[in-house]
Structure 1
């Protein structure tokens, strides 16, 4: 697939409500305001100034202890889950100082209830005038399960079965109010029309929910659905439900193969492939000169202890990498965790002959490849992936916060605009507007659910 010159890419920002990268928080230009609302509001203003589609917060519901059965490495090195604020609360504060920036929070279908989640995201969508998105995860770590009074995690395929039903209930709750149900007629009086607010009376394997929701239908119809599943079952789930896929790749070839496969899966389900936006994660490191960018990458790389990166990778794979020698290579593993991350590091290990020590430093930094250099150089790399069918846009991760986002907006966004690759102003007010997605009609979710039922019957 080669794109036309008129098409433009999408930009999302991967933000950590905590220290994030184990080397990035130690970098002299990094700011440690993770517990300060002004820190996140400042990032939000920067991203909206840069015309980003959305801010995206991943989440984790435990301090990981998969590496050597201890959370010591996470806490000591400020790694993945050492500190994470609740993203929905943070996004509410960011919504207050922005008018266009999309707002994406991660919530798990394994631990929350559909009513609570539907109400939270409908509330955020209303208070932000149509800018909310939900990153759907199924969760896989026993450390998280134990924080929700669950002794052991639900098996992978069963987690997705629960997630399918979870989404059906959430969509029904969002649809439990018709679009014009809120009358606000003071004279009659008629606050909300009872004939247009409905019980859902859902009875299923996992959930029994009567409804209705006590929040009117969201401004976007449904908040945007984001998903990052990389297993075969996860890809099928994303093809059915997702508006946006967040994914991670180690090479252009693997990214393009994934892109082609997912667009084909969407088409088989009767959806327009353009209705699914695929945003690979990248960590550009830009500076005014190539030499300066390379030096910044060297400093950041040296600030990463290999154990910090391996601790994070152990969490993602759900495998204790602490039992292998640092100078050995990554073994072939049957991964119970995130298969996409394993495929990524397997590819890098085999190609570059990495030891676990090398892999730990790289996984903790990721300042590699064609995205380190001047704005022109980085834009070349992004344009190549976009034009040649490996991405609809990018999930931009900052090497350090908030300066990495500030550098991107100051240097790279103007270069992308000069190339007509990125917008010069927002064309609408909602996140669906930014992504070029239609507002779903009342009941539209049933089309996606019925395709799943028909295929299983076949």
Structure 2
């Protein structure tokens, strides 16, 4: 990815938009979010705008530990790998990023899924790596509770290591298809792993040859210390929450140190900030829009969200009093990133007020105003080197996305910070990321 090509990804947190109550908007889609045409239209529109990728978030459970979750926000969604498989057939250039958890999958299965998709899409696939933290998710896989934070990341590290070795188990030129001699492949260039570890025993090799990108692009979003260390060791893309040039430059400097300790270069790693971009049609729209968004919130669920993120039972407290003391991050087994964000809010906020802020996409950067204002703010951080691009988390789909592609993308192109045509090659090529060497060959050379 050259410095005149800001990376832009269309993010699906909820199919109707990034707010938890986006589904209540009068113009929001309903049952069509479970059909392919809804996604085809949006993703083909993103491809026409020359976005790098579409990014599908995921959980592997409905959020029903609180009754309000099941009634007001059951979190129902299509399975991401299945969805991007369908989208690969109706697109040509845009990257396809699916979330998959290291907590409740097996390395061989995920390695095979993503390698297969990378072949089918001609090298356009990315894996967003997550560790699962919901109690409901654990219960769906026979676990009595969520594993400790440190254990989740230890498993993730071993999981990713095994997946990479499986992707490497076929050398690039292992396939022969020599019809005269009957040699389908060269056995000397196909490797077993014989991995025996703490969580996994995997023989290998994979039964899919090495894919066009070598490895699909690897993305990660955890901003705890464990999450950052995992990203510095393995990820190509790191999603984070930043709002200023100063924050971004400090964040990048920290990661450059972590990358160096893993023998990696800054060019091996892209920092992508989450942003809620809202283009207003006139100066009076902001107030009307905020009033509508506020009217969609159901306080019961907002308060339950605070309880879920903090792991504090708030049922006996008044929603109009401040939060009790928060747990220490070092001993916390939920999402530490969200806990730290909550700690940054004004301590005088009531539980209700805090919940309402969390419902509206937590602490994600909101850039709202004219198309010129949105383009200028996004360009500012990018041109300063604070970020390599943005994960676009549109509050309302498809309306906010429509306005962005129609009015902001042409301005970014005119400023020379975003492409007008796709570059040739794979997603990894377009992002300026090297094709990873085969670890079996580098091991032999060393």
**Fold-level similarity (TM above 0.5):** yes
Residues 16-415 of structure 1: pairs in structure 2 closer than 5 A:
16=13, 18-19=15-16, 21-32=19-30, 33-65=32-64, 69-70=65-66, 72-78=67-73, 81-249=74-242, 254-334=247-327, 335-350=332-347, 353-366=348-361, 371-415=367-411
- Deviation, 1:253, is 5.1
Residues 387 and 41 of structure 1: CA distance in aligned 2, closer, same or farther (over 3 Å): same
Matched position secondary structure for 1:290: coil
Distance in 2 (CA, whole Å) between partners of 1:83 and 1:267 is: 41
> How far apart, CA to CA, are the structure 2 residues paired with 1:220 and 1:375?
35
- The answer (yes or no) to whether the contact 1:248–1:341 under 8 Å persists in 2 is no
Q: For the Cα contact (< 8 Å) 1:284–1:371, is it kept in 2?
A: yes
**In 2: Cα distance, 1:250 partner to 1:383 partner:** 12
2:295, 2:244 → 1: CA distance?
23
- 2-side partners of 1:292 and 1:446: how far apart? 58
Q: CA deviation at 1:169?
A: 0.8
Deviations 1:397-436 (A, max 9, x none): 1112222222221111111111112111111232112211
Distance in 1 (CA, whole Å) between partners of 2:242 and 2:304 is 20
Partner Cα distance (1:252, 1:445) in 2 = 41
CA distance in 2, matches of 1:325, 1:91: 44
Residue 132 to residue 205, structure 1, CA distance change in 2 (3 Å): same
Could you tell me which residue of structure 1 aligns to residue 434 of structure 2?
438
Counterpart secondary structure, 1:280? strand
Unaligned runs of 5+ in 2: none
* TM-score, scaled relative to structure 2: 0.90
Q: Deviation digits for residues 2-46 of structure 1, max 9, x if unmatched?
A: xx9x54321112113645533211112222221111111111101
- Indicate if the aligned counterparts of 1:386 and 1:392 stay in contact, CA closer than 8 A: yes
Quick one: structure 1 residues 220 and 149, their matched pair in 2 at CA, closer, same or farther if it must change by over 3 Å?
A: same
Contact 1:294 1:372 in 2 (8 A): no
Q: d(CA) in 1 for partners of 2:333 and 2:253? A: 25
1:170/1:406 Cα in 2 relative to 1: closer, same or farther (>3 Å)?
same
Give yes or no for contact 2:302–2:359 (8 Å, CA) kept in 1.
yes
Aligned equivalents of 1:313, 1:49: Cα separation in 2: 39
- Would the alpha carbon gap of residues 184 and 17 (structure 1) be closer, same or farther in structure 2, given more than 3 Å must change? farther
Flag the 1:310–1:378 CA change in 2: closer, same or farther, 3 A.
farther
Q: CA 1:133–1:310 in structure 2 vs 1: closer, same or farther (change >3 Å)?
A: farther
Gaps of 5+ in 1: 451-458
Structure 1 window deviating more from structure 2 (173-182 vs 425-434): it is 425-434
Partner SS for 2:321: coil
Q: CA deviation at 1:180?
A: 1.3
Q: In structure 2, how many angstroms separate the alpha carbons of the residues matched to 1:27 and 1:445?
A: 54
Deviation at residue 106 of structure 1 after TM alignment:
1.1
Report the CA distance shift for 1:191/1:105 in structure 2 as closer, same or farther (over 3 A). Answer: same
Give the deviation of 1:187 after TM superposition: 3.1
- 1:167-198 deviations in Å (ceiling 9; x for gaps): 11101110111111122233332222222222
Range 13-22 or range 96-105, more displaced: 13-22
Confirm or deny: 8 A CA contact 2:34 2:77 kept in the other structure: no
Is the 2:4–2:419 Cα contact (8 Å) retained in structure 1?
no
Task: Check 1:438–1:318 CA distance in 2 against 1; reply closer, same or farther (3 A cut).
Answer: farther
Taking the aligned partners of 2:226 and 2:262, their CA distance within structure 1 comes to 14
TM-score by length of 1: 0.88
The two structures, once aligned, show a CA RMSD in angstroms of 2.5
Query: How far apart, in 2, do the equivalents of 1:405 and 1:156 lie?
Result: 35
Aligned residue-pair number: 436
**In 2, Cα distance between equivalents of 1:325 and 1:259:** 41
Contact 1:125 1:223 in 2 (8 A): yes
Instruction: Indicate conservation of the 8 Å contact 1:30/1:400, yes or no.
Output: yes
Q: In the superposition, relative to structure 1, how do residues 26 and 73 fare at CA in structure 2: closer, same or farther (>3 Å)? A: same
Q: 1:371 to 1:159 in 2, by over 3 A?
A: same
